[in-house]
Amino acid sequence: MKRILIVDDAATVRLYHREILETADFMVDEAMNGIEALEKALQTGFDLFLVDINMPKLDGYGFLRELRGQDLPQAPAIMISTEAQTNDERRAYAAGANLYLIKPVKPERLLAQVRMLLGELHP
């Protein structure tokens, strides 16, 4: 079973994404900010990260830069945000995101993108 870490400071968003992913038989863990996410990522192997941009302590960009700088297997990351500016998308890819989505994401779209990045679905 694939493990996914949801990184978002909003409990409602974490719950929404958790329900979508668990219904599709993924194991899900959560972190409220980039610091907590980095600690969990260093302790536990995840197959994919679902990361918000705007969070306290360490934002999504900082988390991905730190994660990508670690000597560990590099799982794909989806940056997901309400930020719809082209500059935000460029910054996300520069920080190490594999995909950039705008909130709210429909469940079927989120699952399709997750499965594609995990090699379970081909575009």
3-state secondary structure 28-56: EEEECCHHHHHHHHHHCCCCEEEECCCCC
Average pLDDT for residues 109-113, to the nearest whole number? 96
Say how many domains are in the chain. Answer: 1
Query: Is residue 122 situated within a structural domain?
Result: no
Query: Is 81 part of a structural domain of the chain?
Result: yes
Residue 123 is assigned to a structural domain of this protein: no
Overall pTM > 0.85: yes
Mean pLDDT confidence for 31-38: 97
Residue type, 84: A
Domain membership flag for residue 14: yes
pLDDT at site 122:
54
- 98: domain CATH number is 3.40.50.2300
Range of 69's domain? 3-117
pLDDT confidence bin for 46, thresholds 50/70/90? very high
Q: What is the mean predicted confidence (pLDDT) over 72-97?
A: 90
**Is residue 69, in this structure, part of any structural domain at all?**
yes
